[in-house]
Amino acid sequence: MGALGRVLLGLQLCALTRAAYKFWVPNTGFDTPANWNQNRTPCVGGAVQFPADKMVSVLVQESHAISDMLLPLDGELALASGAGFSAADPGSDPDCSPDAPALFRNPDRFSWLDPRLWRSEEARGFFSVDAERVPCRHDDVVFPPDGAFRVGLGPGARPLRVRSVSALGQTFVRDEDLAAFLASRSGRLHFHGPGALSVGSEACADRSGCVCGHAEALPWLCAALLQPLGGRCPQAACRDALRPEGQCCDLCGAIVSLTHSAAFDLQRYRARLRDAFLALPQYQELQVAVSRVPRRSRLRQADTEIQVVLAESGLETGVAGRLARALVADAAEHGEALGVLSATLRESGAPVRGDSTEGQSAPGSHAGLAGGVVAAVLLGLLALLGTVAGLPEGLICVRLPRWRRQEDAEPASAGTPSGFSNPVFFPPVQPPSPTLKLDSSASHSYFLNPLFATEAEA
């Protein structure tokens, strides 16, 4: 292969590989107010105290006049150009209490597995589910270049693996280089805990995307995310809330699940969502997450699918459901060109208005009332049958309807009624074709096969 061929091959490999950058957010800077117990930097003439039993690297970017400083047993203060410390008498600042020293917060409080502590470059209107906010195995990880950070590597239940790690002016792409750094004093100042961290050269070479690989770590991710809330999810503002794959808590909106062929391109589909749908005024309040995830139901051959999460962030409800149905119709019309084989959707229910008892009642409460009415009607019919039991055979025949138990009935939704056909997207309701497969895994679900022109509600 000539030089030109090698260049073209390299360009093709770069186009096929996909890796996202995940940036570490918190720091251990002296001049960061959030790092101090009073949420402000030490005042003039104040006393400063670091945790005695913690290792920490602290960057100082400004000059400070203090009266006293208690340093940790092991650590470092990195002084930027022009930064430094000078002595000042206690009480120089009237707003500074001499009896309340400024305490530097525990630097070990930051965990790699906390989704709140990472940032990625997302297009406007897009977000990542909680599991994918933490670096995935195909991602490049970037730490602050000034070196003011400290990261806990988690409980060690499973090694953390990413594509590369950039820290302290170095980029690690080989395990042996990273292991040598982590074992050094500088590595121990910045990384701690029983967990293991490794890197590899692999990148996602599948244009339909790659699974993040955090299914086993999700309990630890959610525990870290919900720790400020006491470990409990906030109450969703709707009935029949949804929990997408990789999300810690329920949300209101809709989920579209796509099965796809090898022709599906995840980045191309995201661009189509952004340009053809999210750019419309009626959908600009929605937040959308699109990724490849493990399939919950393994009834079909494929073990992964494309998950499109439409989260409602405003007061208006039902918008996510309308967009979900538009995406289903779009897949029906353009599925072959997009590489989409089928689509199903799930939609949350009606909003919960404050402390209204309507939103807090169980989904089957109205069905229970209807069940009582049905029982009364049945008793009446039985009494009628008793009165006509003595009539000659064949004179009268009463056929009772087939009633279902309350738990077998489909839950009613105050949102879009099941069985409603939108004339904008759907033709008049026709009996389902024998060749059309239906997916009835959820109460508000739709299934399409782009090889046929009709859709059916499940």
The model's pLDDT over 177-198, given as tens digits with 9 standing for 90+, comes to: 999 999 999 999 999 999 999 9
How many CA within 13 A on the CB side of residue 101? 14
pLDDT at 416 over 60: no
Q: Give tens-digit pLDDT for 218-266.
A: 999 999 999 999 999 999 999 999 999 999 999 999 999 999 999 999 9
Contacts of 399 (CB under 8 A, 6+ apart): none
Residue 8 in tokens? 């073209």
Phi, psi of 30 (to 5 degrees): -65, -30
pLDDT at 355 over 60: no
Q: How confident is the model at residue 76 (pLDDT cuts 50, 70, 90)?
A: very high
Beta strands in 177-243 (DSSP E): 191-192, 197-199
Beta strand 21-24 with 118-120 is antiparallel
Q: Alpha-carbon distance 206 to 190, whole Å?
A: 34
pLDDT at 208 over 90: yes
Helical H runs in 307-398?
Answer: 319-338, 357-360, 365-388
Maximum pairwise Cα distance, the chain: 113
pLDDT of residue 173: 96
Mean pLDDT, the chain, whole residue set: 78
pLDDT of residue 95: 77
Choice between 447 and 303, residue whose per-residue pLDDT is larger:
303
Phi, psi of 108 (to 5 degrees): -85, 10
pLDDT of residue 90: 85
Question: DSSP state, 42?
Answer: P
Residue written as token pair 């805990």: 193
Q: Alpha-carbon distance 60 to 78, whole Å?
A: 6
Give CA separation, 24 vs 141, 167, 226, 340, 395, in Å. 8, 10, 19, 35, 82
Contacts of 185 (CB under 8 A, 6+ apart): none
Contacts of 182 (CB under 8 A, 6+ apart): 188, 191, 197
**Helix, strand, coil content of the chain in percent (nearest 5):** 25, 25, 50
In contact, 64 and 85? CB cutoff 8 Å: yes
pLDDT at 301 over 70: no
Cα-trace Rg, the chain: 30
pLDDT of residue 320: 96
Q: Alpha-carbon distance 158 to 152, whole Å?
A: 14
Q: Give tens-digit pLDDT for 265-278.
A: 999 999 999 999 99
Q: How confident is the model at residue 354 (pLDDT cuts 50, 70, 90)?
A: low
Give the SS3 label for residue 66.
Answer: strand
Task: Give the residue from 24, 22, 232 showing the smallest Cα distance to 111.
Answer: 24
In contact, 330 and 307? CB cutoff 8 Å: no
Q: What's the distance, CA 11 to chain centroid?
A: 32
Query: 69-78, 298-307, 443-452: lowest mean pLDDT where?
Result: 443-452
- How big is the CA angle at 62 (ends 60 and 65), to the nearest 5 degrees? 100
**How deeply is 438 buried, as exposed, middle or buried, from its count of CB atoms within 10 A (0-12, 13-18, 19+)?**
middle
